[in-house]
């Protein structure tokens, strides 16, 4: 048994897709969340910058004595896959758990992947899918406008702005006849209703945040590191820029008022080196 908190980070709101699942499947755990809102987006940056930012994010979470670090960010998981080896606690990114779920879901072995430009350029999901099953054909599409849309609150399913953008990005994937689509950036499930309507009911959507939360739960269980079930859940959220925008959007997404639980931190005070 381990009552230390679970640490989760992302460049902004996207990692909340993992938090939402943790609320359901590990309701007694304490969670420390860091959203790097001062430096979002990560997905258009160089490998060196993404690694530097991710090391600082991890250093911050370690300063909170977490028992596991969840890189709830497709971009970090794709570009900086080795970071888990640098730290003394459990670690998972999103790519392997998500690829596994997609490989089990596909029936026609045609899987689409949407992600940030850095994620798609890295080929991480393609490699992970083909390591599981060489027969899977992978069709990839980067969707660089999705993260700014979500961060600026353009995510309601009746909003024509994200719908138009999504129609443009998803059209080629529809033509490829995929039956499974990996939402390989943790921000994208926030646009799930729009993506689902465009892709149609025959395409299974795989949510990288949700799959990674379940994977982390199994990791903790297998290490006997889940918390005591009498523990009361507690959530603290930290951001690297104004707290207001994040608090509002996060409260809507998590369907609970977390405004009092969000604090600013100076992420530059945390080490960039392993
Ligand atoms: N949510 C992140 C991801 O999964 C980061 C997106 C970004 O900052 O560009 O890729």
42 Cα: distance to centroid of ligand 1 (angstroms)? 6
Is-catalytic flag, 143? no
Alpha carbon nearest to ligand 1 atom 9, residue: 43
Does the pTM exceed 0.85?
yes
- pLDDT of 264 higher than 80: yes
Question: Cα–Cα distance between 89 and 6 in angstroms, integer?
Answer: 11
Give the model confidence (pLDDT) of 74-125 as tens digits.
999 999 988 999 999 999 999 999 999 999 999 999 999 999 999 999 999 9
Check if the beta carbon of residue 239 is closer than 8 Å to that of residue 249: no
Residue 133 has pLDDT above 70, yes or no: yes
Query: At a CB cut-off of 8 Å and minimum separation 6, what does 97 contact?
Result: 208, 211, 212, 214, 215
**Percentage of residues of the chain with pLDDT beyond 70:** 99
Residue whose token pair is 């600026």: 152
Q: Give the position, in ligand 1's atom list, of the atom nearest the Cα of 40.
A: 8
Which pLDDT tens digit goes with each residue over 31-77? Answer: 999 999 999 999 999 999 999 999 999 999 999 999 999 999 999 99
CA distance 114 to 112: 7
| Interval 202-227: pLDDT, tens | 999 999 999 999 999 999 999 999 99
Cα separation, 75 vs 124, whole angstroms: 10
Q: How far apart are CA 132 and CA 160, in angstroms?
A: 38
Expressed in angstroms and rounded, the spacing between residue 207 Cα and the centre of ligand 1 is: 13
Q: Are 155 and 190 in contact (CB under 8 A)?
A: yes
Q: Which two tokens stand for residue 83?
A: 């970071």
**What CA–CA distance (Å, rounded) separates 75 from 132?**
21
Give the mutation target among 9, 12, 51, 150 for probing the ligand 1 site: most ligand atoms within 8 A of CB: 12
**How remote is the CA of residue 28 from the centroid of ligand 1, in Å?**
27
Query: Does 185 qualify as catalytic in the annotation?
Result: yes
Q: What spacing in Å lies between the alpha carbon of 223 and ligand 1's midpoint?
A: 29
CA of 116 to the centre of ligand 1 (A): 6
Residue 31, helix vs strand vs coil: strand
- Residue whose CB lies within 8 A of the most ligand 1 atoms, among 38, 74, 142, for a mutation test: 74
DSSP label at residue 180 = E
Instruction: Give the residue-averaged pLDDT of 187-197.
Output: 96
Q: What is the model's pLDDT at position 245?
A: 87
Per-residue confidence (pLDDT) for residue 274, from 0 to 100: 64
Q: Which residues lie with the beta carbon below 6 Å from any ligand 1 atom? A: 10-11, 14, 40-43, 73-75, 116, 119, 147, 185-187
The one catalytic residue in 128, 182, 185, 206 is 185
Atom 2 of ligand 1, residue of closest alpha carbon: 73
Structure token digits, residue 210: 């949700």
Residues 162/188, Cβ–Cβ less than 8 Å: no
Instruction: Report CA-CA distances (Å) from 197 to 102, 162, 166, 192.
Output: 19, 12, 10, 8
Measure Cα distances from 72 to 16, 134, 167, 217 in Å: 8, 26, 26, 14
Catalytic residue from among 66, 70, 73, 138: 73
Q: What are phi and psi of 235, to 5 degrees?
A: -125, 130
Q: Output the six-digit token pair for 44.
A: 């258009």
What is the per-residue pLDDT for 167? 97
């Amino acid at each position: 048994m381990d009552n230390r908190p679970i640490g989760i980070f992302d460049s902004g709101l996207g990692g909340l897709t993992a938090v939402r699942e943790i609320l359901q499947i590990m309701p007694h755990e304490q969670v420390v969340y860091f959203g790097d809102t001062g430096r979002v987006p990560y997905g258009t940056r160089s490998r060196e910058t993404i690694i530097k930012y991710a090391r600082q994010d991890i250093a911050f979470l370690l300063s909170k004595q977490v028992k596991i670090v969840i890189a709830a960010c497709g971009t970090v998981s794709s570009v900086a896959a080795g970071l888990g080896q640098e730290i003394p606690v459990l670690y998972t990114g999103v790519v392997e758990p998500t690829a596994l779920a997609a490989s089990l879901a596909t029936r026609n072995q045609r899987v689409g992947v949407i992600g940030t430009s850095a994620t798609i350029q890295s080929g991480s999901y393609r490699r992970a899918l083909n390591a599981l099953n060489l027969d899977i054909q992978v069709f990839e599409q980067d969707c660089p406008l999705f993260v700014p849309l979500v961060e600026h609150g353009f995510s309601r399913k009746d909003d024509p702005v994200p719908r138009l953008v999504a129609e443009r990005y998803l059209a080629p994937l529809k033509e490829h006849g995929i039956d499974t689509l990996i939402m390989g950036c943790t921000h994208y499930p926030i646009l799930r209703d729009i993506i689902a309507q465009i892709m149609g009911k025959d395409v299974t959507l795989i949510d990288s945040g949700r799959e990674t939360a379940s994977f982390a739960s199994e990791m903790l269980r297998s290490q006997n590191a889940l918390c005591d079930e009498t523990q009361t859940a507690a959530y603290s959220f930290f951001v690297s820029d104004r707290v207001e925008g994040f608090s509002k959007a996060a409260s809507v997404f998590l369907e609970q008022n977390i405004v009092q639980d969000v604090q600013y931190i100076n992420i530059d005070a945390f080490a960039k080196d392993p």
